[in-house]
Structure 1
Amino acid sequence: MDGTHVCVKVKPEIQVMYWNRHDYASINIMAICDMNMLFTYVWNGALGSCHDTTVLSLAQNGDSEFPLPPTDKYYVVDSGYPNKQRFLAPYRSTRNRVVRYHMSQFYTSPPPRNKEELFNRSHASLRSIIERTFGVWKKKWRILTDFPRYDMDIQKRVIIARMGLHNFTRVSNFIDADFVEDFTETQTEDQDNASYELDEAENADGQHMANIRETIATMLWKNQSI
């Protein structure tokens, strides 16, 4: 699961609501994909100014059919989301301690120095599937980077239609160069911005997932040492 911003055209008087931290108007799309790079769920249309945590809350509260994983499973999410039950986020850096996460940070630097970084490297490798999926989707459908002046409702429908065409292309087994291209990992907007809102979400029910994360990290570190 991850979020991505898609540029939109809106009237000047409401543009401030859609303006994101990268200085353009957008909507924040939250999507879930499987390991075959197929979109399995999308929450389409949160304001570009919204934090990923807010978008997740909107989806869960606004969609009675939001697809929560089984109780013994969880979505792999970046640090823009709370580490809470059914959502597994990486370890975050603190003011006193830097914990690397992005795969690019391990290419030319020392290997993981502790169990938290080893967990984060494995987590980032697994979560890269959603980044690759977004990369393929945006590259193939260039309209997503420069919408004509359609009404917002039409712009949202175009986004959903392009996701459907993405899935159709994938399941049809067409020879498609975009799906085999190696998209460079890009740091998403909220991965390194731990906010008060995020901390509050984690404090609510995060201990269960924190224990699972710690168990996995300890196991990975122990197996590496054998």
Structure 2
Amino acid sequence: MLRGGKFYPYFEKCVGAIDGTHIRVKVPANDAKRYRSRKQFPTQNILVACSFDLKFTYVLAGWEGSAHDSTVLQDALTREDKLKIPQGRYYLADAGYALSPSFITPFRGVRYHLKEYSNHSPENEKELFNLRHSSLRNAVERSIGVLKKRFPIIASGNEPTYGVVTVTDIFLACCILHNYLMGVDPDNALIAEVDSELMHGEVESATPLMSRNDRYRQGELVRNNIARNMWHDYVANSR
């Protein structure tokens, strides 16, 4: 739970961040097209959710690399072992996902990435929201980055050796080990290395009863309210 600082109470109902990551996989030639991602080689598109202490709280592996992130998320929300979101809570997600009360995305057409604000402070409520959204959502990119550095077997640059089922099992095992290690041996040097790469852009980086438009409008209300309150306090404290 977030307490104090520039994120509280604005993001007090946020439970973590989500993102997708691609892991190379070996598949038969007739399945290669389905698994081929934008990287032009077969991958799995894996959805992960993490908390702000860089631990994974949900993982859905097995989807073809060609599957859109929003498709994988929809599966995560409707399958038996689904991603559960407490009532009134939400995850932070990037602009590739649909804005909703459960998944708060950044404002489009506004500066977003942390390095874009390194020399220029936010100039309005949307920019301030995006800056702090990026700072928090960065947790999932950091988690994925640390995971791949800890376990090179799942690094996307490696030539795949195993098929879909085995890669799924390996990835889940690595996440379990990662969570354990973050509790007993976080390896701050490794985390710092990932943070540095993220700042230089070297690491890669969706309620059923509501219509899509209704979900968007309710998500927009949540986002606008956070941005407005945050900007009001930011301006007041800057005087």
TM-score after normalising by structure 2:
0.80
Which residue pairs with 1:156 in the alignment?
Answer: 168
Matched positions, count = 208
Identity level (%): 33
1:224 positional shift: 1.6
Distance 1:183 1:105 in 2: 15
Which residue pairs with 2:191 in the alignment?
Answer: 179
Distance 2:20 2:69 in 1: 6
Structure 2 counterpart SS, 1:184: helix
- 1:205 matched to 2:221? The reply is no
Give, as a single letter, the amino acid of the residue that structure 2 aligns with 1:169. Answer: L
State whether residues 132 and 183 of structure 1, in contact with CA within 8 Å, keep that contact through their aligned partners in structure 2.
no
Which residue pairs with 2:13 in the alignment?
Answer: none
- Pick from 111, 115, 131 the counterpart of residue 141 of structure 2: 131
Unaligned runs of at least 5 residues, structure 1: 94-98, 190-200
- Pick from 44, 67, 72 the counterpart of residue 88 of structure 2: 72
Structure 2 counterpart SS, 1:32: strand
- 1:39-87: per-residue Cα shift (whole Å, max 9, x none)? 111011111111111110111122x342332222110111111111211
State whether residues 76 and 83 of structure 2, in contact with CA within 8 Å, keep that contact through their aligned partners in structure 1.
no
- Pick from 111, 130, 138 the counterpart of residue 120 of structure 1: 130
Which residue pairs with 2:75 in the alignment?
Answer: 58
- 1:168-210: per-residue Cα shift (whole Å, max 9, x none)? 2112236563234324324756xxxxxxxxxxx8525211110
Counterparts of 1:1-226 in structure 2 under 5 Å? 1-62=18-79, 64-93=80-109, 99-108=110-119, 110-145=120-155, 146=158, 148-173=160-185, 175=187, 177-181=189-193, 182-185=195-198, 186=201, 202-226=212-236
Distance 1:39 1:183 in 2: 21
Which residue pairs with 1:195 in the alignment?
Answer: none
Distance 1:166 1:188 in 2: 19
1:140 positional shift: 1.4
Give, as a single letter, the amino acid of the residue that structure 2 aligns with 1:103. Answer: L
Distance 1:188 1:123 in 2: 18
Distance 1:19 1:82 in 2: 23
Distance 1:157 1:208 in 2: 37
Unaligned runs of at least 5 residues, structure 2: 1-17, 206-210
Give, as a single letter, the amino acid of the residue that structure 1 aligns with 2:96. Answer: G
CA 1:174/1:49 → structure 2, altered by over 3 Å: closer, same or farther?
Answer: closer
Distance 1:171 1:65 in 2: 25
State whether residues 147 and 155 of structure 1, in contact with CA within 8 Å, keep that contact through their aligned partners in structure 2.
no
Structure 1 counterpart SS, 2:197: coil
- 1:135-163: per-residue Cα shift (whole Å, max 9, x none)? 00011111113255323211111111111
Distance 2:72 2:142 in 1: 21
State whether residues 24 and 160 of structure 2, in contact with CA within 8 Å, keep that contact through their aligned partners in structure 1.
no
Distance 2:19 2:215 in 1: 20
